[in-house]
Amino acid sequence: MPPTFMVANAVSSIGSALRIPQLILRAVLFLVSVNNILLPLTTTYTHTRATRAIYRIGIPQASRLILRLPLYPRAIVHKPRHTFS
């Protein structure tokens, strides 16, 4: 079993034991995966825009959108515009 699934299963089990709604767990897992996987590959500007968009549409609406996403979204790796050699 891949480490991500092990972590997700553990978080889900803890969440069930503490009676935390799955929606909140999925949102937290999504945000953690975004911070750990996507952010180092993107610019701070992109992250700022994404954060502003979430606050603009509101947390409940953003949570509903997150629910529609797969639990483990694939990281989209963009080629850097500038390469330093």
* Residue 29 neighbours by CB under 8 Å, 6+ apart: 8, 11, 71
Cα→Cα distances 24→20, 44, 50, Å: 7, 25, 19
pLDDT in tens, 3-29: 555 555 665 666 566 666 666 666 766
pLDDT in tens, 31-77: 666 555 554 444 555 556 666 666 666 666 666 665 565 544 444 44
What pTM was estimated for this model as a whole? 0.27
